[in-house]
Amino acid sequence: MSTNKGFIIWFTGLSGSGKTTIARILEKRVQAAGRHLESLDGDVVRTHLSKGLGFSKEDRDTNIRRIGYVGHLLQRNGVGVVCSAISPYRATRDELREMVGADFIEVYADCPLEICATRDGKVEMYAKAMRGEIKEFTGVSDPYEAPEKPELHLHTHQETPEESADRVMRYLVEHGYVAPVAVVAAAR
């Protein structure tokens, strides 16, 4: 079983749905299983690759395509990558799936907006968005198009981030991206 196969775990979901939290846990798990997981965070990438882009549909799409392009470069060189960006538009995500192929793993962090809006660090942002002080805010004043057939559908309000990370990890092992023996070690 190859454990050098590149892959992209593509998190999608509302702000506050747990994407980044789960990604951080996952990084540690994958590391413990003997692989490095390279993280392309939506905000980090904005700094390095997309400074100057705004939050219009076009600019968001450009940002997502750039993350996807860089993720694909890494993945096709055998690197494991996790991307956590809201990535609200279905068609753009499907474009990336098309580009990457079978090693594109779409993970939907599904959490009701009302719960996202109460989470640590998100309360003020959602409140501002609801008062119209932040324009084009996904889920409030801008659409979020949920995936129709994600590889994994996580209900992040019904499970802990650790449980969510476990599910992704299980997927990686079952599909030969991470060696199974290491999972046991990581779970200890």
Active-site positions read: 87
Residue 2 sits in the site that holds a copy of itself (CB under 8 A): no
- Contact (Cβ atoms closer than 8 angstroms) between residue 30 and residue 37: yes
Among 147, 129, 146, which Cα is nearest to 55's?
Answer: 129
Closer residue to a copy of itself, CB minimum distance, 63 or 138: 63
For a copy of itself, the closer of residues 76 and 175 by Cβ is: 76
Provide the mask over 66-105, with x wherever binding to a copy of itself is found by CB under 8 A and - wherever it is not.
Answer: x--xx--xx--xxx--------------------------
Contact flag: residue 54 with a copy of itself (CB under 8 A): no
Region of 63-71, 130-138, 144-152, 163-171 interacting with a copy of itself (CB under 8 A): 63-71
Q: Which of 48, 128, 135, 155 binds a copy of itself (CB under 8 A)?
A: 48
Stretch that binds a copy of itself, among 60-68, 90-98, 116-124, 145-153 (CB under 8 A): 60-68
Q: Which of 5, 27, 55, 62 binds a copy of itself (CB under 8 A)?
A: 62
Which of 101, 99, 100, 130 shows the shortest CA–CA distance to 114?
Answer: 130
CB of 65 to a copy of itself, least distance (A): 8
Cβ atoms of 121 and 93 within 8 Å: the answer is: no
Using CB under 8 A, list all residues that contact a copy of itself. Answer: 36, 38, 48-49, 51, 62, 65-66, 69-70, 73-74, 77-79
